[in-house]
Each structure stands twice: as C-alpha cells, then as structure tokens.
Structure 1
Amino acid sequence: MWDFDHCDPRRCSGKKLARAGLIQDLRVGQRFRGIVVSPKATLPISNGDRDIVATNGVAVVECSWARLDEVPFGKIASPHERLLPYLIATNPVNYGKPWRLNCVEALAAAFYITGFDEYAEQLLKPFGWGHAFHEVNKHLLDRYKACTSSSEIVAMQETILTELEQSYKDSRETQGTEQDDWLTPNPNHRTAVESDSEVEDRSTESPEEEP
C-alpha cells in the first residue's frame, strides 16, 4: 500500500494489516507491477486479471475519501490500475454504504473477484467485523467472479444496479420516497459508472475500524 497517513493509526485498516505483517508499504514513486486499486482507473478488476495478481499481487492507496485531491496519483501509477465494482462497505465507519470500502475491504474484494478467496479471508481475519464483508457481499462477489473481463464486469454491474433500482422503486411505492444509500454516486470514478468519486484506502472517508 501507499500510505498517506490521513487516518488515525489506531483505527486504520492498512496500518493494522502492516502491524500483522500482512501488507508492505510502498514509497511514493515506487513502481508496482501488480493490480493497483485506484479511483483513477478506467477499467474494473475482473477474473481476467488473475494471472497478474498471482504474479505481482495487489496494492491500494491508503488515504481519506475526503482528501483524494491531496494524493499524487501520477506518482503511484501502474500499468494495471483497476476500479472495484459496486459493493457494500461493512467497516464500522461506513457500514452499509455502497462504494465506501476501506483498505482491507478493497484488497479483499480484489482477491475475491480474481479467485483468491483464501487471501481475502486471511486479510479480513484480524478484524472483528471482517466476516461481515463476505456475508453481505457474497451474492455480488459470486456474480462478479463469473465475469472473465472488465467489459463483463461493467455489464454485470449495470444489471445489478438496474435490479436494485427496480427493487427500491417497488419498495418506495409502499414505504415512501426517501433516497436510499445505494443511490449515492460512486466516489471511485467519474465515467465507468457515470458518477463522481474505498477502501479510506483508495478508498476511505474518515478514520475507521476498531484498533
């Protein structure tokens, strides 16, 4: 991970992984040849990236969602930058919010989608809430894992969002008209899902989980 020290060290998922010996720090400017989960990416990760992950691993940007403009993304470039598709955060800060994954959730999602479930589970294990990420997102992850390319992931995500939209429309007809959290624009990317921009970590918004 590239860690920009935006979060409380006692609550930061990336730092907790580092203390457990499960992740390595990268220097700004240091090249990484694996998959980089980044809001600058134009393509989502898919099972078609499995060989890249197997050979060179996955990296994330450990930063605050609210301070993305401060991150020198040009200095942490990779030939394999990827977005994450629609998933739900289960970390204590952003529980239940779409897109707002923290660092460990972003890494776990990348490993699940590329078929390395054991690595995802190992990363989530140190967190008391970690099991919830797979439980909440299993129905989504299983559908993404069946996709062999970024284009298939995009199509699957569109299908999922259409299904959710219809489900919430049906629900609002009987329960009210308030906007639901899932409708929050994707903070990760401005074009792939036609929205605005987890992980904290490529991906957070504030200090997160428990120490």
Structure 2
Amino acid sequence: MKLYIYHTNQCDPKKCTALKMGRLGMAKIIKNHYKIPRNSILLNPFAETAVSVEDRPIIEKYGIMALDCSWKQAEKVFKMTNSKNQRSLPFLVAANPVNYGKPCKLSTLEAFIAILYITNYKKDALSLLNGFKWAKTFIDVNKELLESYCGKTSKEIIQIQNEVLQKIKNR
C-alpha cells in the first residue's frame, strides 16, 4: 500500500504519528508540495465526497496522501496541492493520547487506519497498529462506526454519518 504524508513541520516531533510512520517505513514523508502525487486520494476534511469503497482503484494505483499540518494552515495547504481526488473521512472519534475522545480530531495514523478500514483494506489497516501502543484503541472505540462505513459508497457513508450525528444530537 502506498501511503504518503506531506509534512510541514508544524507539530511536536515527539508526538507526531506521521513522522513515526515515516521512521517505521509505513509511509513516505514528503516535504516539498510539488512532489505530492496528484492522482492519489488526498484526505481533506473540507472535501465534499467521503472516502469509500469506490476509491479502491485509485488507492491501488496511486495510493493515499495525508497532509500533516496545523489546522490553522490546513485550508491554504489543501489549495496548494491541486489534487483531483480529495476525500473526507466520516464521523469518527479520536483515540490518540493528545485528542482522546474528541470527535474528528484524528491523528495522521488514525486517518490512515480509517481510510484503509472503510475501503475494505482491513489487514492493511491493522498492520498500521504495530509500533503504536494506543492505536488498537482507535479501532475499539470506533468499531461499530468503521464496520458500518466499510464497503459502502460515498453516498451511503454520508447517510450513515448523518444518522449517527442525528442520534448524538438527540441525546
């Protein structure tokens, strides 16, 4: 699986899952935005299309790209990429030590686990757990959601997400 991370050095390197993924050989770290693979799936929380099983052919051929940057800089960085395959992740809850329990505040590692799980690359998703003591907790916390999103189309995932958010709102 080709996993790429555009890293902008805007985080604490000791807590950065992206840099650790690079050190462990799980992903290729890219520092120059001109070298971002344009045809890969680019995880973008502002994208209108949710990642889905429909993206498998793109993932197999071009891989997955995540941007590791400050949220304050994110929109600017996404515009620089000029990627045509931008996808968002559906509602999930973070389990990383920095943002544990916070909705949609996933680490780069959690985002990769989620996209692989949702697009039915479960073995590849589980292989990313190695080297991160807390990573299995992400799957445990989100097991029901990940299973409900897995193998679905973008429209179905958005519908499931909207139902989940409505239930949360009505609590």
TM-score after normalising by structure 1: 0.74
Query: Mind listing any 5+ residue stretches in structure 2 that lack a counterpart?
Result: none
CA distance in 2, matches of 1:77, 1:125: 32
The alignment status of 1:61 with 2:67, answered yes or no, reads: yes
TM-score after normalising by structure 2: 0.90
How far off is 1:125 after superposition?
A: 1.8
**Does the CA-based 8 Å contact 1:30-1:76 persist in structure 2?**
no
**Does the CA-based 8 Å contact 2:6-2:36 persist in structure 1?**
no
CA distance in 2, matches of 1:36, 1:59: 5
Which of residues 141, 149, 167 in structure 1 aligns to 2:146?
141
**Does the CA-based 8 Å contact 2:48-2:88 persist in structure 1?**
yes
- Secondary structure of the 1:133 match is helix
- Size of the aligned set, in residue pairs, is 165
Which of residues 16, 25, 28 in structure 1 aligns to 2:29?
25
CA distance in 2, matches of 1:145, 1:93: 26
Corresponding residue of 1:38: 44
Residue type of the alignment partner of 1:39: P
> Higher relative CO (CA 8 A, sep ≥ 6), structure 1 or 2?
1
- Secondary structure of the 2:67 match is strand
**4+ long deviations beyond 6 Å:** none
Corresponding residue of 2:14: 10
Which of residues 118, 122, 127 in structure 2 aligns to 1:122?
127
Corresponding residue of 2:155: 151
CA distance in 1, matches of 2:12, 2:57: 34
Query: Mind listing any 5+ residue stretches in structure 1 that lack a counterpart?
Result: 169-211
CA distance in 2, matches of 1:141, 1:161: 15
Alpha-carbon RMSD across the aligned residues, in angstroms, is 1.5
Q: How has the CA–CA distance of structure 1 residues 92 and 31 changed in structure 2, closer, same or farther, with 3 Å as cutoff?
A: closer
**Does the CA-based 8 Å contact 1:125-1:131 persist in structure 2?**
no
Quote the sequence identity (%).
Answer: 35
How far off is 1:120 after superposition?
A: 1.2
Instruction: State which structure, 1 or 2, has the greater radius of gyration over its C-alpha atoms.
Output: 1
CA distance in 2, matches of 1:117, 1:6: 30
CA distance in 1, matches of 2:23, 2:92: 26
How far off is 1:161 after superposition?
A: 1.2
The 5 Å alignment of 1:90-129 reads: 90-129=95-134
Higher strand share: 2
Corresponding residue of 2:167: 163
**Does the CA-based 8 Å contact 1:105-1:124 persist in structure 2?**
no
CA distance in 1, matches of 2:108, 2:81: 16
